[in-house]
């Protein structure tokens, strides 16, 4: 859940990374947080937790990024990590069609559990392997638009599109948090007005007399 204060404009956002094993989730987050890349495959065991502080539109944003394991045996643990998340990065490997189909499964699960309360970005990683592409870019973009998600192509290896993707997600979460806060303030004001009206009505003396009353 996003937390904010009107005086400091500080927000805390939880982001979860989801996708098959070997699509490069860990490489993406390490590239973003530490600006490093390890060419060796790094298997995530259950989940790891990293943080990043950024300034955006005059607001301070604390990102808590949960990198989850992609192996099927850990799939059941997914809800533990994406519960109360503000955003999700759904990663597929552009050379692996199955990994893109898996993203679709995650989208369905997230929408079922969290509805539209979570901002989604679908990421086609390993764009440096364009010659081996098996996932059509236009189809991926069309699907993302259909499910109201952003779409980015990235290369953790070449550091292409990584920061832009995370910043776009942060911007989206910030906008959603501000809209939600404004909506809650509006509801509070309307409810307060209703209470005042009821109290005022109760205090108005009844000056109308029945036609049958004695004068």
HEC assignment per residue over 146-210: HCCCEEEECECCCCECHHHHHHHHHHHHHHHHHHHHHHHHHHHHHHHHHHHHHHHHHHCCCCCCC
Lowest mean pLDDT among 28-42, 44-58, 187-201: 187-201
Our CA angle for 80, 23, 117, nearest 5°, is: 40
Rounded distance, CA 173 to CA 170, Å? 5
Query: What pLDDT sits at residue 39?
Result: 80
How many CA atoms lie less than 13 Å away from 36 in the CB half-sphere? 6
Residue 139 per-residue DSSP state: H
Q: How much of the chain exceeds pLDDT 70, in percent?
A: 73
Rounded CA-CA distance 166/59 in Å is: 16
Domains of the chain: 10-178 (3.40.50.300)
- 3-state SS assignment for residue 44: coil
Q: Is the pLDDT of residue 135 over 70?
A: yes
182 or 41, which is more confident = 182
How far is Cα 26 from Cα 37, in angstroms, rounded to an integer?
10
Mean pLDDT of 94-111: 96
Q: What is the pLDDT of residue 189?
A: 64
Q: What is the pLDDT of residue 148?
A: 96
* Of the candidates 66, 69, 18, the residue with the CA atom closest to the CA atom of residue 42: 69
pLDDT band at 6 (very low <50, low <70, confident <90, very high): very low
Q: Are 18 and 108 in contact (CB under 8 A)?
A: no
First-to-last CA distance in the chain?
Answer: 65
For range 111-139, the mean pLDDT: 96
pLDDT on residue 194: 62
Residue 102 in 3-state DSSP? Answer: helix
Q: Is 104 exposed, middle or buried (0-12, 13-18, 19+ CB in 10 A)?
A: middle
How far apart are alpha carbons 56 and 48 in whole angstroms? 25
């Amino acid at each position: 859940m996003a937390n904010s204060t009107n005086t400091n404009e500080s927000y805390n956002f939880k982001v979860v990374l989801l996708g098959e094993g070997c699509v490069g989730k860990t490489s993406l987050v390490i590239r973003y947080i530490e600006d490093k890349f390890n060419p060796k495959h790094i298997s995530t065991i259950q989940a790891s937790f990293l943080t990043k502080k950024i300034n955006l539109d005059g607001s301070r944003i604390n990102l808590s990024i949960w990198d989850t394991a992609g192996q099927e045996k850990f799939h059941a643990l997914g809800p533990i990590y994406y519960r109360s998340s503000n955003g999700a990065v759904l990663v597929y490997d552009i050379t692996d069609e199955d990994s893109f189909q898996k993203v679709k499964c995650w989208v369905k699960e997230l929408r079922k559990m969290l509805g539209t309360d979570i901002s989604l970005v679908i990421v086609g990683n390993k764009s440096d392997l364009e010659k081996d592409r098996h996932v059509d870019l236009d189809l991926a973009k069309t699907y993302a638009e259909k499910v109201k998600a952003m779409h980015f192509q990235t290369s953790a290896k070449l550091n292409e599109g990584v920061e832009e993707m995370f910043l776009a997600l942060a911007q989206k979460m910030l906008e959603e948090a501000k809209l939600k806060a404004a909506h809650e303030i509006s509801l509070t004001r309307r409810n307060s007005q209703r209470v005042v009206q009821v109290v005022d009505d109760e205090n108005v003396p009844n000056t109308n007399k029945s036609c049958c009353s004695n004068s």
